[in-house]
Amino acid sequence: MKDNYIYPAVFTYGDDGITVEFPDLPGCITCGGNEEEALHMAKDAMGGYLSVLEDQNKVLPNPSKTKDVTVNKEQVVTLIEVYMIGFRSKIKYHSVKKTLTLPYWLNKKAEESKVNFSQILQEGLKSYLGL
């Protein structure tokens, strides 16, 4: 895994904003109301997309050369660079919601004691997993 990736993006200018697509990253599409927003959204989309591929141990595609990307008159090719350390950390440490089932009596007792269910579950899982 590299810390930085650079891929070409196609910015398509329309009346309602700018759509951004990555020829080498199928399904990685975003948009913005102006160039600044589109650039920000492009970096975020690309970083998230690549983080998922890394997490799934998939081989990342080689980036195309900008000169090989075909565009029409409403489009511009721009290189997008992302620094992956932040994206990896964001994916690794973001919270996920879990639904669980407890006996009624245990739930009632815990609520009466003002138990922080998330904290107790995290502590229990860490202990169980030896972390």
Mean per-residue pLDDT for 25-38? 96
pLDDT in tens, 77-104: 999 999 998 877 776 777 778 888 999 9
pTM of the complete model: 0.71
**Rounded Cα gap, residues 24 and 64, in angstroms:** 7
For 15, residues 6+ apart whose C-beta sits below 8 A from its C-beta are none
Mean per-residue pLDDT for 31-36? 96
Ordered by start, the domain boundaries in the chain are 4-93, 96-131
Nearest to 121 by CA among 92, 91, 98, 94: 98
How many angstroms separate the first and last alpha carbons of the chain? 25
Q: Are 82 and 43 in contact (CB under 8 A)?
A: yes
Centre a 10 Å sphere on the Cβ of residue 69 and count the other Cβ atoms it contains: 16
Q: Are 36 and 106 in contact (CB under 8 A)?
A: no
Determine the pLDDT at residue 87: 77
Is the pLDDT assigned to residue 29 strictly greater than 80?
yes
pLDDT in tens, 45-62: 999 999 989 989 999 999
The architecture of the domain spanning 4-93 is: 2-Layer Sandwich (3.30)
Mean per-residue pLDDT for 126-130? 92
Q: Any idea what DSSP says for residue 67? A: G
